[in-house]
Structure 1
Amino acid sequence: MDITEFYQTFFEEAEELLSDMEQQLLQIDPSDPDGEQLNAIFRAAHSIKGGAGTFGFTVLQETTHLFENLLDKARHRELTLDPTTIDIFLETKDMLSDQLNAYRQQTEPDSAAYERICNTLKALAEEKGHGGSAAASATTTDQPSMTGPAPGGAMVIRIAGVAADNATSLAEELALFGTVLEQQHAGEVLTVRLETATGEEDIRAVLCFVVDDDQITFENAAAASSDDSLEMTAEEWPVEEEPVHATPEAEKTPAVEPAGVEAPVEPAKAAAPAAKKPEQRVAASSENASLRVSIEKIDQIINLVGELVITQSMLEQGTSDFDPVTHGSLLSGMNQLQRNARDLQEAVMSIRMMPMDVVFNRFPRLVRDLAGKLGKQVELETVGKSTELDKGLIERIVDPLTHLVRNSLDHGIETPDRRLAAGKPASGKLTLSASHQGGNILIEISDDGAGLNRERILNKARENGLAVSDAMSDDDVWQLIFAPGFSTAEQVTDLSGRGVGMDVVKRNIAQMGGHVDILSRPGQGTTTRIVLPLTLAILDGMSVRVGEEVYILPLGAIKESMQVRPEDISTVTGNDRVLHVRGEYLPLVELYRVFDIPDAQQDVTKGIVMIVQSEGRSFALQVDQLIGQHQVVVKNLETNYRRVPGISAATILGDGSVALILDIPALSRTPQDREGSHTGHHRGAAALH
C-alpha cells in the first residue's frame, strides 16, 4: 500500500496536535500542574510519534520520543515542573513544528537543530531524573494513573481487524503502558492481557493513529477469564465467523520502542463506549461528522454558485415583464429559485467561515515570549473567539494583528516599576476582541498602557515634513502614525522602532476592504479598531446609474440617500463643493467628474446624493439614479485587467453587463483627483465581458 497518500492528513493532524499542545503548555501551572493537561500534552506527543513512525519520519519520531519520555515522567510526578522546564517544552514544540514543515516540504530537518534539542532534552532528563530515580525503577503498577487505575490492576485488550504483520507492533505499543502478561493473534483479532495502572481513555487516545476507536474493547482481566487463558468466542467478537481458540505465548513481550505500523492515518476520534455488536460499532463510526476538504474544491464550488446566482439573476430579469396571470407557475418557480439560490449561496459561503479562535490562539505564546524579553508583565484576554470570518481574510489578518500586538507590548504597556509609580497594577492587560457589526466584523486590540503622546507625534510629523497643525483633532493626529517611515521610538529595537510596519498594516487592511481607527487616552491606554467585511466573495450592494454607466455601492457604507436644495450646496477652494446636512458640512464627490462620464446629470439638485461613510469619515456622493439593492458576486478586476483608481472590483448584472464596484475609501481620500480613471474604468469593464 502506498502510504504517501496519507501524508497530508498526518501533517494536518500533527499541526493541530502541536497547536493544542502549545495552548496546554501556556495554560499549565508549573507549581501545581493539572493532571488532565499533562495527559493531553502526553497524548499529543505520543500520537505524533506514532504517526511519524508510520511514515518513516525518523527525526520527528526520535525527537518526539525523547519529549514523550519527559512528559511521561512529569505526569507521573517523577519530574518537577518549573518555568524553565516549560520554556524547554515550548522550544521542543517549536522544533517539532520545524521538523514537520521540513517533511511537508519533502526535505530533511536541520540536523544541527535536531542534535541541539536532543541534547537539551537528555540533559533535562538527567538533571531532573535524580529525585525520581527510585520511582522510575519501580514497575508501572506502582505509579498513580491520572485517569484512574485499571480494574484489578490488569485488563484484557482486544483489537479487531489487525493484520499479522501489524500485531507485533501493536503489542509492543501496548507494552509501553505496563507489562504484557500474555498476547495472541488469531482471526485478525489481537488479544493482550496487560498489567497496567493506565486508564482506558489514555490507551484509546494514543492508538488513534493506527486503529479506529470501535476496533478496541477492554475487559477486567479477572472477569475476562477465570482460568487465566485468552479465549475468544464468536459472541464476544461478531466479526469472527467461528470461535477461535489459541494457546497464549509463554514469554512476556519486552517493552521496546514500537516499530512503524503501516496503516492510514485517521483523525483522532473521541473515546466511545466499547462496542460488542455490529450495529453498535456502526453507530459509533457515524459519530464522526466532520470531513476534510481541500480549499481548492471549496473555492471551485463557490465560483460555481456565483455563476448560478448570476444566471438566476438573468432569468429573473428576463421574466420580469411576464404577465402574472399567463405565466403564474413560471414566476412562482422563479421566486422559489431565487430563494433557493440565496440559501445555497449562504450555505456555501458558511463553509469558508472560520472562528477567530484560529487567529487568537497564535498570540498567547507571542505575548508570553515578548513580555519576558521586554521585562514586562502582561495578561492577555481574548473575547469573541467564536466570531466567524472568511478563511481568506483569516489568513491575511494574522500579520497586521501580529504587528499591532507587538506595538502594544513594546510602546503601549509600561514596565512594572512605571506602572506601579503611576498607580496601576504591575501587570498590564492586553485584550483581543472580535464581534459582528452588521455585515462587517469588528476586531479590537486594546491595552491599558500609557496611551499615545500627542506632542511627540506632532513633533515627529514636523521633522518628517508632514503638514500638521496644533489645531488638528486627536483622531487626525493618531492617523499620522500610519505615515510611511513614521516612528516615535526613542531607540531602535529588534521589535519595533524602525518606522516600518504601520503603513503596511493600514494598506493591507484597506486591500481587504476594511479600515483601521485608533482611540487613545493618555495614561489609560490605546485601542486599535479594525473593521472588515465578513467575506470578499459576496457583497450586498446598491446599484446606481451615472449617465449610461452602472456602479455598485457597498450597502454597508451607505448611511442615507436624499435630494438636496441649491442652498445646501457651498463652493470652497477651487471647484470643490460641500453639502450642508443637519449642521455638518460634508465633501461632495461628483462621480461624473471623477470618471469623466459624458451625458451625466451635472445638476446636483436634479440627481440623488448618497451619504456614505468610510474610515470613520462621511462624505456625499452624487449619482443620477438609484436602481436597486441586491447581492452581487465579486469579480477581481486586477486579475482580469489591472487596478483602477476608485474601483475595488467588478460584478456581472442580470442582463449580462459588467458593473464596477466603487472603492469608497479611495473616493473619500482624493475624491476629485482621478486623472486617467475614465479610460481605465471603461477598459476594465470591457476586460470582464
Structure 2
Amino acid sequence: MDISRFHAAFFEESREGLQAMEAGLLRLESAEPDLDTINVVFRAAHSIKGGAATFGFRAVTDLTHLLETLLEEARAGSRRLDGASVDALLEAVDVLGGLLQVAEHGGEADGAALNRVQAKLQALLDGAAAPQAAAEAPEESAPDKWRVGFTPEPSLFMSGNDPLRIFRDLAEHGELETTVDDARLPPFSQLDPFEAHLAWDLMLPGSVPRDAIEDAFAWVDDQCALEVEAVRAETPAPAPSLAAADPALPATAADPARHAEADSSIRVAVNKVDALINLVGELVITQAMLTQRAEGLDPVAHESLLSGLAQLERNTRDLQEAVMSVRMLPVEFAFSRFPRMVRDLAARLDKKVRLRTSGEATELDKGVIEKIVDPLVHLVRNSIDHGLESPAERRAAGKDETGTVTLSAAHQGGHIVIEVGDDGRGMDRERILAKAAERGLQVPDNPTDAQVWDLVFQPGFSTADTLTDVSGRGVGMDVVKSNILALGGQVEVRSTKGAGSTVVVRLPLTLAILDGMTVAVGEEVFIVPLNMVIESLQPGPGQIRTIAGDTRVLRMREDYVPLVNLREQYRLPSAANASGNPIAVVVEADGRRLALEVDDLLGQQQVVVKNLESNYRRIPGISGATILGDGRVALIVDAGSLGNVAPAPAAAA
C-alpha cells in the first residue's frame, strides 16, 4: 500500500502536536509541574514519533525518542523538569519543527542545531535525575497478568492509521493473548462500517511494565476506549468495562465530551472550502438576478413564484452564512504563537513580562488571521522593547517589576477588534513632536493626542536612542498600518504617559463578502465599502472650491477635504440622463478624509468580492469587483489609493 498519501494528515497532526508541546512546556515553566500537562506533551511527542517511524523519517524518530524518554522519567516521578530541562525541550521542539518542514517540503536540515539539541537532551538523561518523594514508596509487586480492554472508534480506521501496530508492539514484550468481542456488531444486513465497533480483550504477562502498555496506546488515546487491569492469582479478574477509561491515563475517547468533539470534526483541504465558497457566491449572484427579473411581475398573478423567490433568498442567505462560517477560525490560532515569543524576547531584553490574553474563541476568517499575524508580531515586539521598562525602572516608578502585555479580541458589529496593550511607560508626546520636527514631517497646529500618536506610523519614524536587533530602526509600524489597511481595517493608538499604550486594530470578519454603497458614475455602477463611508451630501453653492490651480476641495463645516471626481478618475463619459447636481460621498481611508463625486446614490447591498487582479490585472484605485443582480460587473472603489492616483484627463461630455 502506498502510505505516502497519508503524509498530509501526518504533517498537519504533527504541527498541532508541536503547538501542544510548546504550550505545555510553557505551562510547566510558569507553574508547578502537573502530571496532566506532562502527559499532554508526552503524548504529542509519542504520536509524532509513531507517525515518523511509519513513514521512515529517521531523524524525527530519533529526536522524539530522546524527547519522550526524558518526559517518561518526568511522568514516572524520577525527574523534575527544571528550567534547564524546559529550555532544552523547547529548543528540541524548534529543531523538530525544522525537521518536519524538511521532510514535508525538502531541503537541508540544520545538522548543527540537531546535534546540539541531541547532546543537551542526552546530557540531561545521563545526569542524576532528581528523585521524587513518591519514588521512595515501597514498590508494589508485579501482577500475574495484565488484562487490557481495547475498543477502537471507527474514526481510527478511517484516518489511515493501523491499529494492529499496537498488537505488534505489545507482542514484543511477551506472549499476547487476544479475544475479539463481536457482540456489539449489528446483524450483517444492518452493518454500517462507520458505526461498527469491535472490542478486544488482551492478556499480557505481569512482567511487562505498565508504562510500556500505556505507551503502545498513547498515539490513539483519543480514538479508543481503554482499560488496563492488574490480574492476580488470589483475586478473580473482573470483566473489563470497555466503556470506561483507566483513571491513571489522561482523558481518552471514553470521556463523552472529548469523544463527541473528536467525532464532530473532519479535515478538509482549504482549496475545497474556497471552491465551495465561490460556488455559493455564484448562487447568491444568480438568486439576486432572479429577484431583480421578478420585480416587475404582478404580485397577485405570480404570488406563488414570488413567494418561492423570497424563500430562495432566505435559504441562499442562510447557506452563504453557513458556508462562510467554515472558514472561520478562533483567533487563538494567531494568539497561540505569542507565549513563546514573549518568553524568548523578555529573556533577550532582560525584562520580566507576563502575557495576558482574552477573547481567544472570537472567530475570524482564516485568510484574515493569516495576514494579521505579522502586524501583531510587530506590535507585541514594540510593546516589550519600547513600551515596557526594565525591572529596575518599574520598581523605581512604584510598579510591579513584571510588566504586562495584553492581547484581546472581541466582535463589534460586523468587525473584530484586536487590542495590543502594555502597562509600560506610555508614549512621550513632546519627544514624538520633536522627532517629527527634526524629520520635517507636517504636523497640524495644536495637534490632538490621536494626531501625535499617528506619527509613529510614518515610514522610518522612531524615537529609539539606540538600535537593537529587536526594533528601533523605524521599520515595522508603517508596515503594520499598511497591512491592516490592505485588509480593509483601521488602526488607532491610545496612550497615557507612565501608564502604558494600547493599539486598537479593527478588521472585517471576512474578505469574501462586503457591505457596500452602490453609486452611479456615468453609465457605470461602483461599490464604495460601507465601512469607509462617513456621510453623503449634495454640495451647495460655494461649498466646492478650486485651489492651487486645479485641486478641488469640498468645504465641510469648518474643514476642507479633497474632492475626487470618479468620472474623471476612471475616464468615463457623462451619463446621458445625468442631473447635473453631483453628490459627494465622504469616506475615510488611510487616516484621512476624501470626498468622492458621483452622479447618484443607488442604495446599499452586500456583495460577493471577486479578485480582479487574479482574473484580469491590477487597476489603480480599484480593489476588486462583484457581479450585480442584473449581471453587470461593478468595480469596488479603493478609496485609500485614490489620493495617490493621478486623475486621468477628463473625458468629453
Q: CA deviation at 1:388?
A: 1.0
Classify 1:270/1:666 alpha carbon distance in 2 versus 1 (closer, same or farther; 3 Å): farther
Whether the 8 Å CA contact 1:571–1:578 is kept in 2: the answer is no
Alignment match of 2:552 (pick from 566, 576, 586)? 576
* 1:183 and 2:142 correspond: no
Deviations 1:604-651 (A, max 9, x none): 993434343435555544332221222211111222333333221111
Q: CA deviation at 1:29?
A: 4.7
Alignment match of 2:289 (pick from 304, 308, 314)? 314
In the alignment, what sits opposite 2:90?
90
Alignment match of 2:359 (pick from 384, 388, 406)? 384
| Structure 2 letter corresponding to 1:192 | M
Q: CA deviation at 1:98?
A: 1.2
In the alignment, what sits opposite 1:458?
433
Q: CA deviation at 1:480?
A: 2.5
Whether the 8 Å CA contact 1:579–1:588 is kept in 2: the answer is no
* 1:206 and 2:218 correspond: yes
| Structure 1 letter corresponding to 2:147 | V
**Structure 2 CA distance, aligned partners of 1:517 and 1:231?**
65
**Structure 1 CA distance, aligned partners of 2:259 and 2:636?**
50
In the alignment, what sits opposite 1:512?
487
Classify 1:166/1:402 alpha carbon distance in 2 versus 1 (closer, same or farther; 3 Å): closer
Classify 1:618/1:53 alpha carbon distance in 2 versus 1 (closer, same or farther; 3 Å): same
Whether the 8 Å CA contact 2:568–2:648 is kept in 1: the answer is no
In the alignment, what sits opposite 2:403?
428
Q: CA deviation at 1:493?
A: 1.1
Deviations 1:198-228 (A, max 9, x none): 699966860418x9415x55455359984x8
Q: Secondary structure at the match of 1:445?
A: strand
Deviations 1:542-585 (A, max 9, x none): 2111221211122223344444543665666654333335x666
**Structure 1 CA distance, aligned partners of 2:260 and 2:234?**
25
Deviations 1:34-81 (A, max 9, x none): 221112112222222222222222211111111111111122221123
In the alignment, what sits opposite 1:126?
126
| Structure 1 letter corresponding to 2:202 | T
In the alignment, what sits opposite 1:254?
none
Alignment match of 1:192 (pick from 192, 203, 206)? 203
Deviations 1:337-379 (A, max 9, x none): 1111111111111100111000001000000110111011111
TM-score calculated relative to the size of structure 2? 0.84
| Structure 1 letter corresponding to 2:380 | V
* 1:18 and 2:28 correspond: no
In the alignment, what sits opposite 1:253?
none
Whether the 8 Å CA contact 1:441–1:534 is kept in 2: the answer is yes
* 1:500 and 2:475 correspond: yes
In the alignment, what sits opposite 1:272?
254
Classify 1:286/1:73 alpha carbon distance in 2 versus 1 (closer, same or farther; 3 Å): closer
**Structure 2 unaligned blocks of 5 or more:** 181-197, 244-249
Whether the 8 Å CA contact 1:517–1:616 is kept in 2: the answer is no
Q: CA deviation at 1:381?
A: 0.9
**Structure 2 CA distance, aligned partners of 1:332 and 1:585?**
49
Classify 1:566/1:153 alpha carbon distance in 2 versus 1 (closer, same or farther; 3 Å): farther
**Structure 1 CA distance, aligned partners of 2:141 and 2:588?**
70
* 1:360 and 2:332 correspond: no
Q: Secondary structure at the match of 1:129?
A: coil
In the alignment, what sits opposite 1:675?
647
Q: Secondary structure at the match of 1:606?
A: coil
Whether the 8 Å CA contact 2:77–2:135 is kept in 1: the answer is no
| Structure 1 letter corresponding to 2:554 | V
Map 1:281-680; keep pairs closer than 5 Å. 288-468=263-443, 471-566=446-541, 574=549, 575-581=551-557, 587-599=562-574, 606-615=581-590, 617-667=592-642, 669=643, 674-676=646-648
**Structure 1 CA distance, aligned partners of 2:261 and 2:452?**
58
Q: Secondary structure at the match of 2:81?
A: coil
**Structure 1 CA distance, aligned partners of 2:14 and 2:163?**
27
Alignment match of 2:148 (pick from 151, 157, 164)? 157
**Structure 2 CA distance, aligned partners of 1:657 and 1:589?**
24
Whether the 8 Å CA contact 2:150–2:224 is kept in 1: the answer is no
**Structure 1 CA distance, aligned partners of 2:333 and 2:367?**
13
* 1:221 and 2:214 correspond: no
> Once superposed, what is the RMSD of the aligned Cα atoms?
3.8
Q: CA deviation at 1:103?
A: 1.1
**Structure 1 unaligned blocks of 5 or more:** 144-151, 238-267, 275-282, 680-689
Q: Secondary structure at the match of 1:319?
A: helix
Q: CA deviation at 1:133?
A: 13
Whether the 8 Å CA contact 2:144–2:233 is kept in 1: the answer is no
**What percentage of aligned pairs have identical amino acids?**
47
| Structure 2 letter corresponding to 1:397 | I
Q: CA deviation at 1:457?
A: 2.8
Classify 1:31/1:298 alpha carbon distance in 2 versus 1 (closer, same or farther; 3 Å): closer
**Structure 1 CA distance, aligned partners of 2:356 and 2:141?**
41
**Structure 2 CA distance, aligned partners of 1:273 and 1:386?**
22
Q: CA deviation at 1:594?
A: 3.6
**Structure 2 CA distance, aligned partners of 1:273 and 1:194?**
28
**Structure 2 CA distance, aligned partners of 1:186 and 1:109?**
45
Whether the 8 Å CA contact 1:592–1:602 is kept in 2: the answer is no
**Structure 1 CA distance, aligned partners of 2:479 and 2:444?**
25
In the alignment, what sits opposite 2:170?
171
**Structure 1 CA distance, aligned partners of 2:455 and 2:399?**
28
Whether the 8 Å CA contact 1:514–1:531 is kept in 2: the answer is yes
**Structure 1 CA distance, aligned partners of 2:650 and 2:315?**
38
Stretch moving more, 300-309 or 593-602 = 593-602
Whether the 8 Å CA contact 1:482–1:503 is kept in 2: the answer is yes
| Structure 2 letter corresponding to 1:24 | G
**Structure 2 CA distance, aligned partners of 1:130 and 1:445?**
41
**Structure 2 CA distance, aligned partners of 1:59 and 1:92?**
12
**Structure 2 CA distance, aligned partners of 1:410 and 1:98?**
27
**Structure 2 CA distance, aligned partners of 1:316 and 1:404?**
47
Whether the 8 Å CA contact 1:542–1:629 is kept in 2: the answer is yes
**Structure 2 CA distance, aligned partners of 1:48 and 1:568?**
69
**Structure 1 CA distance, aligned partners of 2:513 and 2:417?**
18
**Structure 2 CA distance, aligned partners of 1:4 and 1:293?**
18
| Structure 2 letter corresponding to 1:316 | T
**Structure 2 CA distance, aligned partners of 1:201 and 1:323?**
75
Whether the 8 Å CA contact 2:169–2:216 is kept in 1: the answer is no
TM-score calculated relative to the size of structure 1? 0.80
Classify 1:165/1:293 alpha carbon distance in 2 versus 1 (closer, same or farther; 3 Å): closer
Q: CA deviation at 1:439?
A: 1.7
Map 1:6-155; keep pairs closer than 5 Å. 6-29=6-29, 32-106=32-106, 109-129=109-129, 155=146
Q: Secondary structure at the match of 2:267?
A: coil
Whether the 8 Å CA contact 1:205–1:271 is kept in 2: the answer is no
